[in-house]
Amino acid sequence: MASLQDTPAFPGPGLSTDQDLLLMQEGMMMRKVRSKNWKKLRHFRLQNDGMTVWHARQAGGRAKPTFSISDVERIRLGHDSELLRNLAEEFPLEQGFTIVFHGRRPNLDLIANSVEEAQSWMQGLQLLVDFVTNMDQQERLDQWLRDWFQRGDKNQDGRMSFQEVQRLLHLMNVEMDREYALSLFQAADVSQSDTLEGEEFVQFYKALTKRTEVQELFENFSSDGQKLTLLEFVDFLREEQKEQDRAPDLALELINRYEPSDSGRLRHVLSVDGFLSYLCSKDGSIFNPACLPIYQDMTQPMNHYFINSSHNTYLVADQLCGQSSIEGYIRALKRGCRCVEVDVWDGPSGEPVVYHGHTLTSRILFKDVLATVAQYAFQVTSDYPLILSLENHCTWEQQETMARYLTEILGEQLLSTTVNGMPLNQLPSPEQLRGKILLKGKKLTTLEEDIEEEENEELQPELEREQGSEVELDPFLEPEPEPELEPELEPGHEPEPESEPQEPSSRSKDKQEKVVKCPLSGLPICCQIMVQTPSFNPESLLLSKQIAKPILCPALSALVVYLKSVSFYSFTHSKEHYHFYEISSFSEAKAKNLIKEAGNEFVQHNAWQLSRVYPSGLRTDSSNYNPQELWIAGCQMVAMNMQTAGLAMDICDGLFRQNGGCGYVLKPDFLRDTQSSFHPHRPISPFQGKRLLVQVTVTYTCSPGMVSASTQLPSLCTSASGKTWGRRNLEIATKNPEGLGAEKPTEALSPSPLTSSKPRAKRRINQGSRHHRQRLGKDS
């Protein structure tokens, strides 16, 4: 491991002469922007290590760390920043740029004093980001140590006192007994200066992360305890890692990849350091790399897949006062989300806006949301279909504006017609809809009527000209009920009723999907229906109170093709009156109650129709539920508050990490069968229950991207003596082996909460001694 004392001015060859980096090291005054009203001048400077940026209130002032280059994902131009665009009248966009960080850490928006200075910083930062991206594992570890040393060295004197070390351990989420930490510190302080410098800090790190159980595992297969020969490493791969026939070829490949010494690679032996490097590498991951690319059948109907879904995607904080931002859509799409939510309300000057209705959340323009979706929908992780879940609260006029923006901004990406050759009994597959954006929302007509109208348009083009004809309605004619805009409103839009909706009568069943038609042309009427209160005096009819109810604009309705939103009354009602292309939304509590009371019916329902579940309105802090409880009933779109890190999002990320991270995961066959007898809460037979024995070894490891086990799995860790690892056997009883899933934090190591009932299904978890990698911090 490289010494920190000899850290070069720049980490890579050729960087020390780059003029942009030299200018960054001199430092520069720039405006740090948080809002339209918060713009502060700060002095930003690239440190001598070439890998960390600090800032101060003024040049020469007391500086503090801002970010490490390792934390940076990309650099955006000022034109691409929502915040900087709002300041375009004050500052030229060419002078601004945005630093985007990994995980959920907020972006950093900066405005330089000139276009040239902005260009220097953008080019210099991008050069360093590219350099970090191309580092190998050892270089990443060395740089990671330098970053933490810089962060812990508060007074920047190149040395760390014990107080600074304690502060650093706190920053790293390490809970350690003070006496034990002091003993490690004193053992590493070979200069007896009461401080750690360079290589001493490296030794402290090694003592801190000493892996006793790894040493024991190594010695079980090593004849001399110092190295693993090629044959000994082959034995380890076969017996411990269950690699079987591929072990001989794999052993040589792994030695060449992870053995740090040249002599070790020449002799085909693996040292303890090389062994540990392998265990902590992607090759030692618990996740089967064969499941990383797209490996599942993508030609099944859409309702046969779990779909990565977001709730109130525009929010980047809480549900009451949080900020609405297009950044929410960018982050969700970057995480592989394939269903985003758009709550649209009437805005000023005829411009529809997006925000959480009846709250203090900020507002963004609907057209800006669409522009962002058009840019990022298929740019980052997946080209499989994206669903816009539209919550429409607008008047007829602004609905027309919405329809125009959807067609103009999304263009060819928007699916506006049915897929050619599709049978009228199942949804298209993700494969058939690649590169398409689907609109989910209310619809005036049925899919069958749309197809019939498309065929008639070829024979009767004059129908299109008749669409604008005006018809005078008989004021005494009682219209049939038109479709409501929001039969299943989410909390925060309108109050949710305490009682369950009653199944409609036989008369209302026949009428509920009908639309008011123009008597002459047979086309939907684009107006508001005025329902008058009854009166015995005809003259008072004109003076009586009128109740106006807006109806759905046909132009917007026509853009909903396969995902027509409908109210849920009962599973029996859905079977008798609904179609495969219709979708119902359920609150968290409603869905869980249905699973408990009618789990098997819910499973069968989800085998032929899509369901969307959204978090409770009481989760004003944007917390999340456990999505496994809904997936196990086959619910496809379990919407998550993606801005909130935690176990629930870890489970969600785990499921959708597989299959290329494309946002679609094929459901097990027992959740795709409309005749399935599976019930999530009840055994099929009392004799079919099984027990699964899992041995879990939990080890705290401070290394790039790893997280403290004491934070995630407190029940398995002890730290009083300084040892932060433990081993425990977990016995999991399941009534339904087909639906076996992770129920506890200790089982969140599994990248998938569901296992297929087919024995030949590809195993998503590698056997043997493996690691699970997570990032440090709440913003990951």
Residues 30, 93 share a domain: yes
Question: Residue 657: what pLDDT?
Answer: 92
Q: Where are the beta strands (DSSP E) in 407-536?
A: 437-441, 529-532
Question: Residue 734: what pLDDT?
Answer: 59
Across 276-281, average pLDDT: 88
Ramachandran class of 8: left when φ > 0, alpha when ψ lies in -120 to 50, beta otherwise: beta
How far apart are the C-alpha atoms of 281 and 269, rounded to whole Å? 18
| Cα three-residue angle 194-198-202, rounded to 5 degrees | 95
User: Does this model's pTM top 0.75?
Assistant: yes
How far apart are the C-alpha atoms of 566 and 62, rounded to whole Å? 60
**40 inside domain:** yes
Place of tokens 């929010």: 315
Across 381-396, average pLDDT: 95
Residues 125, 32 share a domain: yes
Structure tokens that stand for 508 in this block: 């209302």
Q: Say whether 418 sits in a helix, a strand or coil.
A: coil
* Phi, psi (degrees; rounded to nearest 5) at 765: -115, 130
Q: What is the CATH number of the domain that holds 164?
A: 1.10.238.10
Residues 439, 324 share a domain: yes
Q: Per mean pLDDT, which range of 445-454, 552-561, 639-648, 679-688 is the poorest?
A: 679-688
* DSSP for 274-327, written as a single string: HHHHHHTSGGGBSB-GGGSS--S---S-GGGEEE-EESSTTBSS-SSSPPB-HH
Which range of 93-102, 687-696, 747-756 scores highest in mean pLDDT? It is 93-102
Residues 216, 200 share a domain: no
Q: Is the dihedral of CA 311, 316, 322, 324 positive or negative?
A: negative
**732 inside domain:** no
695: confidence class by pLDDT, cuts 50, 70, 90: low
135: confidence class by pLDDT, cuts 50, 70, 90: confident
**354 inside domain:** yes
- Of the two residues 760 and 13, the one the predictor is more confident about is 13
Q: pLDDT of 29-43, one tens digit each? A: 999 999 989 999 999
The answer to whether 469 touches 521, Cβ cutoff 8 Å, is yes
Q: Per mean pLDDT, which range of 62-71, 171-180, 314-323, 564-573 is the poorest?
A: 171-180
If residue 28 lies in a helix (H) or strand (E), which one and from where to where? strand 28-33
| Cα three-residue angle 375-378-381, rounded to 5 degrees | 120
Which pairs from 578-584 meet CB under 8 Å and 24+ separation?
A: 578/609, 579/446, 579/447, 580/301, 580/303, 580/425, 580/426, 580/427, 580/608, 580/609, 581/427, 581/447, 582/609, 583/440, 583/609, 583/610, 583/611, 583/612, 584/488, 584/609, 584/611, 584/612
How far apart are the C-alpha atoms of 136 and 273, rounded to whole Å? 15
C-alpha closest to that of 337 among 373, 310, 369, 317: 310
* Phi, psi (degrees; rounded to nearest 5) at 614: -125, 155
Q: What is the CATH number of the domain that holds 404?
A: 3.20.20.190
**568 inside domain:** yes
Question: Residue 397: what pLDDT?
Answer: 95
- Of the two residues 704 and 211, the one the predictor is more confident about is 211
| Cα three-residue angle 649-653-659, rounded to 5 degrees | 160
Residues 220, 330 share a domain: no
**499 inside domain:** no
- Of the two residues 510 and 709, the one the predictor is more confident about is 510
**297 inside domain:** no
142: confidence class by pLDDT, cuts 50, 70, 90: confident
Q: Is the pLDDT of residue 528 over 50?
A: no
Across 606-613, average pLDDT: 97
Residues 159, 136 share a domain: no
Residues 381, 360 share a domain: yes
Place of tokens 């706190």: 170
How far apart are the C-alpha atoms of 481 and 479, rounded to whole Å? 6
Q: Is the pLDDT of residue 248 over 90?
A: yes
CA 587 to chain centroid, in Å, comes to 20
Q: What is the CATH number of the domain that holds 48?
A: 2.30.29.30
Question: Residue 472: what pLDDT?
Answer: 40
* Phi, psi (degrees; rounded to nearest 5) at 20: -65, -40
Average pLDDT over the chain reads 80
Helix, strand, coil % (nearest 5) of the chain?
35, 15, 45
| Cα three-residue angle 507-513-516, rounded to 5 degrees | 95
- Of the two residues 531 and 406, the one the predictor is more confident about is 406
Question: Which of 671, 689, 724 represents a domain boundary (last residue)?
Answer: 671
Q: pLDDT of 408-441, one tens digit each? A: 999 999 999 999 877 778 999 999 999 999 999 9
Residues 560, 647 share a domain: yes
Question: Residue 464: what pLDDT?
Answer: 53
Please state the domain count of the chain: 4
Q: Say whether 571 sits in a helix, a strand or coil.
A: helix
If residue 230 lies in a helix (H) or strand (E), which one and from where to where? helix 230-239
| Cα three-residue angle 195-199-205, rounded to 5 degrees | 80
- Of the two residues 737 and 161, the one the predictor is more confident about is 161
**621 inside domain:** yes
Question: Which of 182, 208, 234 represents a domain boundary (last residue)?
Answer: 208
Question: Which of 671, 697, 730 represents a domain boundary (last residue)?
Answer: 671
Amino acid identity for residue 590 in this structure: K
Residues 64, 45 share a domain: yes
385: confidence class by pLDDT, cuts 50, 70, 90: very high
174: confidence class by pLDDT, cuts 50, 70, 90: confident
727: confidence class by pLDDT, cuts 50, 70, 90: low
What percentage of the chain has pLDDT greater than the value 70?
A: 74
Active-site residue list: 311, 356
Q: Per mean pLDDT, which range of 296-300, 308-312, 463-467, 585-589 is the poorest?
A: 463-467
Q: pLDDT of 314-361, one tens digit each? A: 999 999 999 999 999 999 999 999 999 999 999 999 999 999 999 999
* DSSP for 624-678, written as a single string: ---THHHHTTT-SEEEE-TTS-SHHHHHHHHHHHSGGG-SEEEPPGGGS-TT---
How far apart are the C-alpha atoms of 416 and 633, rounded to whole Å? 31
Residues 160, 245 share a domain: no
**194: containing domain:** 153-208
Residues 590, 660 share a domain: yes
Residues 30, 119 share a domain: yes
HSE, CB side, 13 Å, CA atoms: give it for residue 722: 14
**576 inside domain:** yes
How far apart are the C-alpha atoms of 575 and 580, rounded to whole Å? 9
What is the four-CA torsion angle of 552, 555, 561, 563, rounded to 10 degrees? -30
210: confidence class by pLDDT, cuts 50, 70, 90: confident
